[in-house]
A = this chain, B = another copy of it.
Amino acid sequence: MNPVKVGICGLGTVGGGTLNVLKRNAEEITRRAGRGIEVAQIAIRSPKPQYDTTGISLTSDVFELVNNPEIDIVIELIGGYTLARDLVLKAIDNGKHVVTANKALIAVHGNEIFAKAREKGVIVAFEAAVAGGIPVVKAIREGLAANRINWLAGIINGTGNFILSEMREKGRTFDGVLAEAQALGYAEADPTFDVEGIDAAHKLTILASIAFGIPLQFDKAYTEGITKLTTADVNYAEALGYRIKHLGVARRTDAGIELRVHPTLIPADRLIANVNGVMNAVMVNGDAAGSTLFYGAGAGMEPTASSVIADLVDVVRALTADPTNRVPHLAFQPDSLSDHPILPIEACESAYYLRIQAKDHPGVLAQVASILSARGINIESIMQKEVEEQDGLVPMILVTHRVVEAQINEAISALEVLDDVVGSVVRIRVEQLN
């Protein structure tokens, strides 16, 4: 059988990795796919690629590639929302299948893209868009297809996890670690997407769709970054038996779906609490399978290429299959997506870690406890530290039972106006992840 011809748009890190792995493992991949995969054309910005492109047609025009009648599958690796959207829609229009690693594109324009793909009978595959080399999209979409999924929680941004791991292991500050990560090239020059949770929210949006059978709704995800985390809170969490991780959490409740990215205390003995450095992990809890965890490299040249190529092999198999009986893009048949609403963060429920800076007066604890109990908020554990020498304040650390966020907000407002409470109350969500 003739090899399938693919075109790669973008020869950056992931494009280069894809080219390298397709070449190095050509025999292994053909033995699996039953058919060779040939890179017929590459669209690149610069005319001097740093990878070996011998025998491959090069163009600086991505539209030349997506209009190339020789090409069966277009691999979109240019990133961003605008040109990427145009070229993916054009590729679909031309009847080509698409493989993409672009989480932002899928999270923001996925509904439009998949509708168009269905109309044209082509596949848009995106395993590489979430958690790099971990085949977690396939695991949720196919491997856990028997389950009503209750919740999922993931460490899905490697830069953020690297920063938190360094803060905990070495007592370093957020700013210090970020500066080093930028110098080493782990973190982007503009780290906003990573440290503010936007990148994680893109991925979480995708995971929630395939887990719950809902349309992609990135604009409704709650996103809170890690920029305000202090080494003090990392250490207090540790003393209470927790680790702080930047999690994407999606949970199904009767009222709606929680879709939220934020720093989270997790019991230190949970496997996911021990995922360190740039590694990623996603926990998925289904009603039949129970809790599962998928761990691996969340980014990087070849891990991401691994997922791009796994998608390519899937598409090669689907080339001769009945287009009406494929794995649906978002795991559920498009005519049976659910309109279960995404909950606003105020309606989400979790336990909370609170750090209150209080004056060293008798009776403060009683006042705090009374404000919480008046709002039906139970205290799970409490830790009071020594008076801080500098300012004479006593840090009081509480972990509450589970409560709706609106209630904890009210309580925090009431705490912050107490005479003996100084400054803002620090609030970090707590999840057990059993």
Q: Which residues of chain B are within 8 angstroms of A133 by Cβ–Cβ distance?
A: 286, 288-290, 292
A336 near B31 with CB under 8 A, answer yes
A388 at the B interface (CB under 8 A): no
B313 near A288 with CB under 8 A, answer no
A320 near B310 with CB under 8 A, answer no
A289 near B293 with CB under 8 A, answer no
Centre residue among A296, A305, A318, A321 by max chain B CB count within 10 A: A296
Centre residue among A24, A31, A33 by max chain B CB count within 10 A: A31
Q: How far is the CA of A286 from the CA of B17 in the complex (A)?
A: 14
Q: How far is the CA of A13 from the CA of B210 in the complex (A)?
A: 29
- Which of B144, B288, B305 sits near A17, CB closer than 8 Å? B288
Which residues from chain A sit less than 8 Å from chain B, CB to CB?
17, 21-22, 24-25, 28-34, 127, 133-135, 138-139, 142-148, 213, 269, 271, 274-275, 286-297, 300, 302-303, 305-310, 312-314, 316-322, 324-328, 331-333, 336
Q: How far is the CA of A133 from the CA of B139 in the complex (A)?
A: 11
Q: How far, in Å, is A362 (CB) from chain B's closest CB?
A: 42
- Which of B135, B291, B313, B326 sits near A317, CB closer than 8 Å? B326
- How many copies altogether? 2
Q: How far, in Å, is A26 (CB) from chain B's closest CB?
A: 11
Q: Which residues of chain B are within 8 angstroms of A22 by Cβ–Cβ distance?
A: 146
Q: How far is the CA of A144 from the CA of B311 in the complex (A)?
A: 10
Q: How far is the CA of A313 from the CA of B326 in the complex (A)?
A: 11
Q: How far, in Å, is A206 (CB) from chain B's closest CB?
A: 16
Given A143-B138, A144-B135, A148-B28, A295 contacting B296 (CB threshold 8 A): no
Given A31-B213, A34-B333, A133-B290, A142 contacting B296 (CB threshold 8 A): no
B297 near A295 with CB under 8 A, answer no
Given contacts A32-B213, A319-B325, 17 further A-B contacts (CB under 8 A): A24-B148, A31-B333, A32-B145, A133-B289, A138-B142, A138-B143, A139-B139, A142-B310, A145-B313, A271-B275, A288-B302, A288-B309, A293-B296, A317-B326, A317-B327, A318-B321, A321-B321
Centre residue among A32, A318, A328, A336 by max chain B CB count within 10 A: A32
Show 23 residue pairs from A and B whose CB-CB distance is below 8 angstroms, ordered by the A residue.
A17-B288, A21-B146, A22-B146, A25-B148, A31-B333, A32-B328, A32-B332, A32-B333, A134-B289, A142-B314, A146-B306, A146-B307, A146-B310, A146-B313, A269-B274, A271-B271, A288-B309, A289-B297, A289-B302, A290-B297, A292-B296, A294-B294, A294-B295
